[in-house]
Amino acid sequence: MSHVEVMNGNRAAGIAACLARPDVIAAYPITPQSSVVEFISRMIAEGKLDAKICEVESEHSAMSVLEGASLAGARTFSATSSQGLALMYEPYFRASTLRLPIVMAIANREMISPQTLWASAQDSLSVRDAGWMQFYAEDNQEILDTLLQAFRIAEDSRVLLPINVCYDGFYLSHMSERVVVPDAEEVDAFLPDGYDPEHIVLDPDRPMAVDPLTNGDLLTEYRAKHLAAQQAALQVIEEVDAAFSNAFGRSWDGAVEPYRIDEGCQAIVVTLGSMTGAGREAVDRLRDDGEAVGLLKIRAVRPFPAREVREQLAGVPAVGVVDRNVSFGWNTGIIYQEVSSALYGVQGTARIPIISGLGGEDITVEMFEDALRKILVAGRLSSERRDETPETIWLRQEKEGGAA
Amino acid sequence: MNILEKLSAPDMISPGISACVGCNVELTLRTVMRIVGENSVLAIPPGCMGGVGVVGWDKLSGARVPVFFPLLTNTASMLSGLRLAYDRQGKTDTHVVAFAGDGASVDAGFQALSGAAERNDRILYVCYDNEGYMNTGYQRSAATPKGAWTSTTPHGKLQVKKDTPRIMADHRIPYVATCSPAYIADLVAKVEKAKANRDGFSYLHVLTPCVSGWGFPPEQSIEICRASVQTRYFPLYEVDHGQYRITVDVPKPRPLKEYVGRLKKFRQTTDSDLAEMQTLVERQWHELIALERATQDPEMARAG
């Protein structure tokens, strides 16, 4: 039987990791992720988790240790944030190009400078093209559930790619809420076997040379297969979510989750991560005022669910994307660019870039209401005007006695 | 078993790797892997041995044991992960072996190396030290000695060589040794000790003079190795569970000039430079003697 606990997001991530019965864990402490590695260390020390943990001297080594372990056939887990992720970029990229199904939680934190500790997906979104899959969770239950799904998606023979489950630092990592914790037996049934690689392994009983110097035509073939595996993952994500729903009675709608989107929708706001809760509340309030608005939550950024996003958004008069991150050189956020690419060629749908909540600033329900009203206004323009490139909206909280 | 019988163990490296003529790194690698044997996994980071094809294709070329390219920066960490996974799988007899150049060990890879040593992970780490980035055109590393020409120190390096074996010994790991391809019996004995070490990290540091990068005739490769030892430039010693022991005594050292003078990379060296180098070499030897005496007491060694 499952049970209910009140816990923060880091504990939810730690519990999920333990339930997945990893063989080898390596992680280096960094705010706001630290309590994940502390929790797992304690579980091992108390004999509640049978696994090897490596007390590494850096995130670079954390990912490197997991690559070695994964090459030996171990199921592996790590967690990091921000500068730690940046430090591990070299082995991070390689984990995906070696096709190692490593699972890593990321408690999202801004990249410095200026010096900062607080939430933004700038860290993980900046490495979205390093070949990993990336999921973004809205609440602590979703962290736990998505991590359990992540092992199964990553190890699927059609995929064999590493995966991040990302969640906003402090907003989720340190915020406590109700979480249903499944029993170990239930998880064992959902996620049965340990990882047993056939495609790449270091084992004297099955000798092979791993990753010799490779020329361009073969490298191109590897890349084509890697890209195909990302696309295949979209189907696997749906299947795993269905299996999860069967096993635990909770579905997360796969790669995107629509909220109150219907035929007559005049404006949709696109969200990522913990901001989604405030977005839902704002949608409810505007619906109460008679406005036909909805919300689309992006769960998977890699693979990007372009078809689903297009199906949900094409034909709606106006769409706004709220980004808690920036895309340098584009004057927008990163998810805006992703959504715009998915909507390429669609006419008559205004696309409004909105940047908000950087450095962990709150994005309130009122700010989402404001955003939705601005999106509605854009949707009332003529069809031609809607296709023009709009100005980016910097949505900031009114602060007493200070700059907006 | 005598040394020749030991060396008749199967060669774990296929014939025809493309090392330079007279390369003593290839000799060292073949010797090390004959002793380590087939129940092993070999990490070859970017460097000379990576460049010459030791990470081969399906045992038809390169190594005959499972072999891979770590990054330049993470050889020891990747081996830590393999070790943990093998221990968990009960494959405790499988050796995880690094064969890494000085760049991948004492420079870019040093953090991972030091971390794995501090954790005392059971890894057999061999550093082949050719005193620079010889594979990519002879650039300077922290292992390049003062005064030596490299392509990035055209007027000679200004700083002294980092003493990595001593730094590794100060991690207080169970086994550290220096080795030379000119002293194969000594090398084999040290590889055997490292292989038998079940207590944690083993670190072997092999000085491998480079025909191409240092400038000497290929047929003198082993002579140069021997001269590095006989001038006390590169003393052969081990630190076994804290106990220092000079394994090849050099009671009557040859003048340092007999080593330095044969290498083109020291062509710019003046008499006063040479005198300074000679002083450093003597100090290093006397430090080793002092360390040997200080750690002779087995009680002290255990505590160390």
Asked if B53's CB is within 8 angstroms of A94's CB, the reply is no
**B120 exposure class (CB count in 10 Å sphere: 0-12, 13-18, 19+):** middle
- B47 close to A (CB below 8 A): no
Whether A400 maps to a domain, the answer reads no
> Within this chain, do residues A203 and A286 fall inside the same structural domain, yes or no?
no
β-pairing verdict for A133-136 and A300-302: antiparallel
β-pairing verdict for B95-101 and B124-129: parallel
- Interface probe, candidates B69, B80, B94, chain A, greatest A C-beta count within 10 A: B80
pLDDT at residue A226 is higher than 90: yes
Give the pLDDT confidence score for residue B303 in this predicted structure: 52
Distance between CA atoms of residues B136 and B17, nearest Å:
17
Query: What percent of chain B is helix, strand and coil (3-state, nearest 5)?
Result: 40, 15, 45
Asked if B81's CB is within 8 angstroms of A213's CB, the reply is no
Tell me which residue range forms the domain holding A153.
3-248
Per DSSP, what are the bridge partners of residue A134?
A164, A302
User: Which pair of structure tokens corresponds to residue B133?
Assistant: 């980035």
Out of A248, A268, A290, a domain closes at A248
- A345 close to B (CB below 8 A): no
Nearest chain B residue to A206, by CA:
B66
Residue A365 distance to chain B (closest CA, Å): 46
Distance between CA atoms of residues A13 and A141, nearest Å:
9
**For chains A and B, what is the number of CB pairs under 8 angstroms?**
144
Give pLDDT tens digits for A60-97. 999 999 999 999 999 999 999 999 999 999 999 999 99
> Within this chain, do residues A29 and A54 fall inside the same structural domain, yes or no?
yes
Nearest chain B residue to A61, by CA:
B77
> Within this chain, do residues A55 and A175 fall inside the same structural domain, yes or no?
yes
Give the pLDDT confidence score for residue B57 in this predicted structure: 80
Give the pLDDT confidence score for residue B83 in this predicted structure: 98
Number of residues assigned to chain A: 404
Q: Is the dihedral of CA A269, A273, A275, A278 positive or negative?
A: positive
- B64 close to A (CB below 8 A): yes
Residue B40 distance to chain A (closest CA, Å): 6
Nearest chain A residue to B85, by CA:
A69
pLDDT at residue A42 is higher than 70: yes
Asked if B41's CB is within 8 angstroms of A209's CB, the reply is no
- Give chain B positions within 8 Å (CB) of A56: 77, 80, 115
- B120 close to A (CB below 8 A): no
Q: Report DSSP state, residue B205.
A: E
pLDDT at residue A403 is higher than 70: no
Nearest by CB to A67, from B39, B78, B114: name it.
Answer: B78
Sheet containing A256-259, strands listed edge to edge, beginning at the edge strand earlier in sequence: A256-259, A293-298, A267-272, A318-323, A350-356, A393-395
- B86 close to A (CB below 8 A): yes
- Give chain B positions within 8 Å (CB) of A58: 111, 115
Give the pLDDT confidence score for residue B301 in this predicted structure: 52
> Within this chain, do residues A219 and A346 fall inside the same structural domain, yes or no?
no
> Within this chain, do residues A83 and A135 fall inside the same structural domain, yes or no?
yes
Residue A266 distance to chain B (closest CA, Å): 52
> Within this chain, do residues A95 and A166 fall inside the same structural domain, yes or no?
yes
Give the pLDDT confidence score for residue B184 in this predicted structure: 98
Out of A248, A268, A292, a domain closes at A248
Out of A223, A248, A273, a domain closes at A248
CB neighbour list of residue A99: distance below 8 Å, 6 or more residues apart:
A160, A161, A199, A200, A226, A229
Nearest by CB to A73, from B73, B85, B118: name it.
Answer: B85
User: Which pair of structure tokens corresponds to residue A36?
Assistant: 């994940």
In percent, the amount of chain A with pLDDT more than 90 equals: 95
- B57 close to A (CB below 8 A): yes
Nearest chain A residue to B114, by CA:
A57
Give the pLDDT confidence score for residue B304 in this predicted structure: 47
Residue with tokens 């073949």: B30
Residue B79 distance to chain A (closest CA, Å): 6
Give the pLDDT confidence score for residue A404 in this predicted structure: 45
- Give chain A positions within 8 Å (CB) of B116: 61
Asked if A68's CB is within 8 angstroms of B71's CB, the reply is no
Asked if A91's CB is within 8 angstroms of B81's CB, the reply is no
**What CATH number did the domain enclosing B283 receive?**
3.40.50.970
Number of domains in chain A: 2
Split at pLDDT 50, 70, 90, the class of A402 is low
- Give chain A positions within 8 Å (CB) of B84: 23-24, 52, 54, 65, 68-69, 74
Residue with tokens 């022991």: B245
Tell me which residue range forms the domain holding B267.
3-303
Nearest chain A residue to B62, by CA:
A209
Give the pLDDT confidence score for residue B230 in this predicted structure: 98
Asked if B88's CB is within 8 angstroms of A52's CB, the reply is yes
Asked if A202's CB is within 8 angstroms of B81's CB, the reply is no
Give the pLDDT confidence score for residue A397 in this predicted structure: 87
- Give chain B positions within 8 Å (CB) of A66: 81
Mean pLDDT on A184-199? 92
- B68 close to A (CB below 8 A): yes
In percent, the amount of chain A with pLDDT more than 70 equals: 99
Nearest by CB to A209, from B62, B82, B84: name it.
Answer: B62
User: Which pair of structure tokens corresponds to residue A247?
Assistant: 């096993």
> Within this chain, do residues A201 and A284 fall inside the same structural domain, yes or no?
no
Asked if A23's CB is within 8 angstroms of B50's CB, the reply is no
Asked if A210's CB is within 8 angstroms of B68's CB, the reply is yes
Average pLDDT value for chain A: 96
Asked if B38's CB is within 8 angstroms of A204's CB, the reply is yes
pLDDT at residue A361 is higher than 60: yes
| B23 within 8 A of B211, measured Cβ to Cβ | yes
> Within this chain, do residues A185 and A310 fall inside the same structural domain, yes or no?
no
Nearest chain B residue to A87, by CA:
B73
Amino acid making up residue B273: D
| A111 within 8 A of A126, measured Cβ to Cβ | yes
The ipTM of this complex is 0.95
Residue A94 distance to chain B (closest CA, Å): 9
**What CATH number did the domain enclosing A140 receive?**
3.40.50.970
Residue B49 distance to chain A (closest CA, Å): 12
User: Which pair of structure tokens corresponds to residue B118?
Assistant: 């501090």
Give the pLDDT confidence score for residue A121 in this predicted structure: 98
- Give chain B positions within 8 Å (CB) of A74: 81, 84-85, 88
Per DSSP, what are the bridge partners of residue A317?
none
CB neighbour list of residue A114: distance below 8 Å, 6 or more residues apart:
none
Q: Which residues of chain B have pLDDT under 70?
A: 298-304
Secondary structure (H, E, C), chain A: CCEEEEEEHHHHHHHHHHHCCCCEEECCCCCCCHHHHHHHHHHHHCCCCCCEEECCCCHHHHHHHHHHHHHCCCCEEEEECHHHHHHCHHHHHHHHHCCCCCEEEEEECCCCCCCCCCCCCHHHHCCCCCCCEEEECCCHHHHHHHHHHHHHHHHCCCCCCCEEEEEECCCCCCCEEEEEECCHHHHHHHCCCCCCCCCCCCCCCCCCEECCCCCHHHHHHHHHHHHHHHHHHHHHHHHHHHHHHHHHCCCCCCCEEEECCCCCCCEEEEEEHHHHHHHHHHHHHHHHCCCCEEEEEECEEECCCHHHHHHHHCCCCEEEEEECCCECCCCECHHHHHHHHHCCCCCCCEEEEEEECHHHCCCCHHHHHHHHHHHHHHHCCCHHHHCCCCCCEEECCCCCCCCC
> Within this chain, do residues A88 and A136 fall inside the same structural domain, yes or no?
yes
Give pLDDT tens digits for A282-294. 999 999 999 999 9
Closest to B214 measured CA to CA, from B164, B264, B180, B175: B264
Nearest chain B residue to A93, by CA:
B71
| B143 within 8 A of B106, measured Cβ to Cβ | yes
CB neighbour list of residue B245: distance below 8 Å, 6 or more residues apart:
B237, B238, B239, B292
> Within this chain, do residues A68 and A196 fall inside the same structural domain, yes or no?
yes
Number of residues assigned to chain B: 304
Mean pLDDT on A129-146? 98
Q: Give the N- to C-terminal CA distance of chain A in Å, as an integer.
A: 50
User: Which pair of structure tokens corresponds to residue B99?
Assistant: 């064969």
Number of domains in chain B: 1
**What CATH number did the domain enclosing A316 receive?**
3.40.50.920
Give the pLDDT confidence score for residue A401 in this predicted structure: 61
Nearest chain B residue to A75, by CA:
B85
CB neighbour list of residue B148: distance below 8 Å, 6 or more residues apart:
B131, B132, B156, B157, B265, B266
Average pLDDT value for chain B: 96
